Amino acid sequence: QSVLTQPPSVSAAPGQKVTISCSGSYSNIGSNYVSWYQRFPGTAPKLLIYDKNKRPSGIPDRFSGSRSGTSATLGITELQTGDEADYYCGTWDSSLNAVVFGGGTKLTVL
Amino acid sequence: QVQLQESGPGLLKPSETLSLTCTVSGDSVSSGSNYWTWIRQPPGGGLEWIGCVDYSGSTKYNPSLKSRVTISLEPSNNQFSLELSSVTAADTAVYYCARGEGYSNYPIPYWGQGTLVTVSS
């Protein structure tokens, strides 16, 4: 059972917007910003969003992140079929003294 | 460009010790404020942080694995390593080495390609 809670799957049509939620507690999301990762089958995760909605070089601004209390949200606009992947949230948990992740959300672009 | 590459045996028997090495290029494991990190992902499962070591050799471990894990630096080879003792089938996973940023939010921008370790008798 993951410390952070994500929906197992989400879906949307090409060109539409989708959001993926990540729910935690004060000791993780409530205290530290979440990072979001994209993972295609057979490849390593890629950092998409970190800190307060920062994107590494090369990540398009179609990807965005936000936080409210003990929940975080990844937003993806202008969906493309190439966005079909698994998405994970993760951050430091100050009580566990460990990095914690969500269980992952599979995005399907219909 | 920072690159990481895992190496080590891909098949172990129950009760053996898993030993993996991560070779780093484009950065030094013995300087800076980064967390040299191990993460694993079991088949069909999610990501699990195993632990990390910083440039000074100071370590942090996942409480659920702490009794079996050792992560250490090998500065002369610009490597860091993972040892996980008394493995069982539940330790079967893809193991990633990675570089985490050394502050509280702990984003992880650099990952190795991952190596599959299977535990089977």
Does residue B105 register a pLDDT over 90?
no
What pLDDT is recorded for position B6?
Answer: 98
What pLDDT is recorded for position B31?
Answer: 84
Question: What is the average pLDDT value for chain A, to the nearest integer?
Answer: 96
Nearest to A91 among B39, B62, B105 (CB): B105
* Residues in A touching B112 (Cβ below 8 Å): 44
Q: DSSP assignment, residue A44?
A: -
Q: Is residue B89 helix, strand or coil?
A: helix
Confidence of residue B104 (pLDDT cuts 50, 70, 90): confident
pLDDT per residue over A75-103, tens digit each? Answer: 999 999 999 999 999 999 999 999 999 99
What is the end-to-end Cα distance of chain A in Å, rounded?
29
Position A55, amino acid: R
Residues A92, A29: Cα–Cα separation, whole Å: 8
Phi-psi region of B26 (alpha: psi -120 to 50; beta: other; left: phi over 0): left
What pLDDT is recorded for position A1?
Answer: 82
Does the distance separating the beta carbons of B96 and A88 come in below 8 Å? Answer: no
**In the structure encoding, which two tokens stand for residue A94, read together?**
């100050």
Does residue B119 register a pLDDT over 90?
yes
Does residue B102 register a pLDDT over 90?
no
Does the distance separating the beta carbons of A44 and B114 come in below 8 Å? Answer: yes
Distance of CA B105 to the CA centre of its chain: 19
pLDDT per residue over B48-68, tens digit each? Answer: 999 999 999 999 999 999 999
Q: Where are the beta strands (DSSP E) in B1-121?
A: 3-7, 11-12, 18-25, 35-41, 48-53, 59-61, 69-74, 79-84, 93-100, 110-111, 115-119
Does the distance separating the beta carbons of B109 and A56 come in below 8 Å? Answer: yes
Does the distance separating the beta carbons of A98 and B62 come in below 8 Å? Answer: yes
Nearest to B49 among A50, A56, A99 (CB): A99
pLDDT per residue over A53-83, tens digit each? Answer: 999 999 999 999 999 999 999 999 999 999 9
Percent of chain B with pLDDT over 90: 93
Residues A105, A92: Cα–Cα separation, whole Å: 19
B22 CB contacts (<8 Å, ≥6 apart)? Answer: B4, B5, B6, B7, B36, B38, B79, B80, B81, B82, B97, B112
What pLDDT is recorded for position B32?
Answer: 85
